[in-house]
Amino acid sequence: MTGEDSGLAEIADSHLFKSLSTEGRERLWVGATTVEIEEGQIVVREGEPGEALFIVKSGQVRVHTVQAGGEVVLATLGRGACFGEVALLTKQPRTATVVAMENCRLLRFNRKEIEEVLDAYPKVKKLLQAIVVGRAKDTIEKLSRN
């Protein structure tokens, strides 16, 4: 299997993981699983424990939450985007539901592997924390409009 086929390319191209060394990317890849998701299938559900982080290899997913006024779409994510980082970092339940908008291929990283890489690469941990803060601000803004 080539790096391109395996998912190493997605890890290297990911905004989150592009600063990893080759060794760091390979270390992350060892613990990764490719997941096939069909259109309409729920990938993660709001309120459930967050034990994994995902990178979209192909396809698109919709991130939404439910408020008193109904469903609020928070984001549409495509190739190279990551999700699941909030619950993974905070060790709190999922803050949103993610649904496949079309057939998707995702890279799934378990908490243990991500935590090991974050401990070894503080720069990546800092970037992930910044992504969480940015998404939280964006979510608050979107929810305040509804």
User: pTM for the full model?
Assistant: 0.81
Q: What phi and psi, each to the nearest 5 degrees, are found at residue 144?
A: -70, -20
Distance from CA of residue 26 to its chain's centroid?
18
CA 83 – CA 44 distance, rounded (Å)? 10
Number of domains observed in the structure of the chain? 1
CA 57 – CA 81 distance, rounded (Å)? 8
Looking at 9-18, 30-39, 51-60, which range is the least confident one?
A: 9-18
Report the first-to-last Cα separation within the chain, whole angstroms: 47
Q: Which residues pair with 35 in a beta bridge?
A: 106
CA 146 – CA 144 distance, rounded (Å)? 6
> What ranges make up the beta strands (E) of the chain?
32-37, 42-44, 52-58, 61-67, 70-77, 82-83, 97-100, 104-110
Q: List, for residues 43-74, the tens digit of each pLDDT value.
A: 999 999 989 999 999 999 999 998 877 888 99
Domain with 138 in it: 3-145
Residues 6+ apart with CB under 8 A from 105: 34, 35, 36, 37, 56, 57, 58, 59
CATH number, residue 129: 2.60.120.10
Residue 88 above 50 pLDDT? yes
pLDDT at 1: 33
